[in-house]
Amino acid sequence: MISYPAGVTRMGFKRYLLFSLLGILPFTWALIVAGLKLGQNWETVHGWFQEFKLVLAAAAALFLLLPVIRHLRRRAAASHRSPTGR
C-alpha cells in the first residue's frame, strides 16, 4: 500500500525502500513469533478467523469504498453549484 502515496508524493527510491523495510520487518517478525508460539495449534486460530471472515471482508470493503463515495458526493455537489457543470 505504501507504493501509492510514495508515487503521488514522488518519494525517492532510497526513502521508499527505507519506509517499506521499516513496515515489513515488524509485520514479518510478528508473523514468525505467532507461528512459533502457535506451533501445532494454528488450526484453532484459523477456525477463529473463519468465524469472522465475513465481518472482516465487510469492514475492508467499507474502508475501501468510503473514500470513493465521499469523492463522488463532493463531485456531485460541486457540479450542482457550478453553472457550467464543471
pLDDT at residue 39, rounded to an integer: 84
Tell me which DSSP letter residue 41 carries: G
Please identify which residue in the block is written with the cell numbers 527510491: 13
Residues in the chain, overall count = 86
Domain ranges for the chain: 1-39, 52-86
Residue whose entry in the numeric block shows the C-alpha cell 457550478: 82
Predicted pLDDT of residue 85: 52
Query: Is the Cβ–Cβ distance between 41 and 62 less than 8 Å?
Result: no
pLDDT for position 26: 93
pLDDT tens readout for residues 27-86 = 999 989 988 888 888 788 788 878 888 888 999 999 889 888 888 999 888 888 766 655
Is residue 2 a contact partner of residue 16, using CB atoms and an 8 Å limit?
yes
